[in-house]
Amino acid sequence: MLRKTLHAGIIGVLISGLIGSLMTVSGQEQDNPYTTGQDVQTGEQLFGRNCSRCHGLEAGGGERGPNLTTGEFQHASTDASLFTVISDGIPNTEMVGIGQNRSDQSVWQLVTYLRSLSSGVRVEVAGNPSIGEELYHGKGSCSSCHVINTEGGRHGPDLSTIGDRRSPDQLLSDLLTPNERVQERWWTIRIVHRDGTEVEGLRMNEGTYSVRILDTDDNLWSFLKQDLSESERTETSSMPAYGVSFTSGELEDLVAYLYGLSRGGA
């Protein structure tokens, strides 16, 4: 079983709060007063309701907003500046603040939640990463769909730094229930051309008049929409669920390998 150390994440948040408070910037309150585990949870719920439609579930990035789990923000370095971004938004972008009808407490809880995603605290995992790596390239043939350090296929997300974005528990559920959170860019499409050609695959780009499709054999097709007699979208993942084909020990090894893929090096 994977061991959870939620409290380690909370300590990380407390420490980053402490560091924040040592840096004095003029203006309003600088310390985040709401950094308990309960605040992380409330922040997560607030995020789900107000932010995930743009930033994706679990803040991993969506069609309309960037990934917020890397621990680095273009528009904010301190908790206080993060507060301002969330509360006031970023001028001339789709990022609108929620400050007007929210309490300071809610905004701080969102800050706490975002910090908890990237507190840099590593959890211990039981599996063996080298065996996981073999399974990844061998039995799993994961690299037919995924890229790690520029090697691999384009049918799924780049996993080069997946360990920075997903916890071991989340990675395990990625393998067991791939359909749980499929972002729009991984939806597939099946079309029939007027001339009878049938193609199924990933939509690489779709405009008003045309669509480009990468089929499972890695051929890239371009079609004018007016030439299609049928077009059907599938909103599930093309990734198989691995609960049956791998033993629980093998799944742990895969998770250990994936979790070790981080910017800091494996």
In angstroms, what is the minimal distance from the CB of 142 to ligand HEC? 3
Stretch of residues binding ligand HEC (CB under 6 A), selected from 31-39, 118-126, 139-147, 207-215: 139-147
Q: What is the DSSP letter of 58?
A: G
Is residue 98 at the binding interface for ligand HEC, with CB under 6 A as the rule?
Answer: yes
Stretch of residues binding ligand HEC (CB under 6 A), selected from 8-16, 27-35, 82-90, 116-124: 82-90
100: CB partners within 8 A, 6+ apart: none
253: CB partners within 8 A, 6+ apart: 127, 128, 129, 131, 132, 135
Interface residues for ligand HEC in 162-181 (CB under 6 A)?
162, 166, 171, 174-175, 178, 181
Q: How far is CA 165 from the centre of its chain?
A: 6
In angstroms, what is the minimal distance from the CB of 195 to ligand HEC? 27
Q: Report helix angle 37-50 to 6-22, nearest 10.
A: 90
Is residue 73 at the binding interface for ligand HEC, with CB under 6 A as the rule?
Answer: yes
Size of the site for ligand HEC (CB under 6 A): 49
Q: Answer for the pair 188, 201: CB distance below 8 angstroms, yes or no.
A: yes
- The residue from 56, 129, 140, 163 that contacts ligand HEC (CB under 6 A) is 140
CA distance 121 to 164: 10
Backbone angles phi, psi at 130, to 5 degrees: -70, -40
Nearer to ligand HEC, 4 or 75 (CB): 75
Q: Which residue has the tokens 């097709």?
A: 221
Is residue 187 at the binding interface for ligand HEC, with CB under 6 A as the rule?
Answer: no
What is the number of residues in the chain? 266
With CA atoms as reference, report the closest residue to 168 among 108, 251, 87.
251
Nearer to ligand HEC, 10 or 255 (CB): 255
What percent of the residues of the chain are helix, what percent strand, and what percent coil, each to the nearest 5?
40, 15, 45
In angstroms, what is the minimal distance from the CB of 134 to ligand HEC? 11
Is residue 214 at the binding interface for ligand HEC, with CB under 6 A as the rule?
Answer: no
* Interface with ligand HEC (CB under 6 A): 50-51, 53-55, 60, 64-66, 68, 73-76, 82, 85-86, 90, 93-95, 98, 110, 136, 140-142, 144-146, 155-157, 159, 162, 166, 171, 174-175, 178, 181-182, 186, 237-239, 242, 254, 258
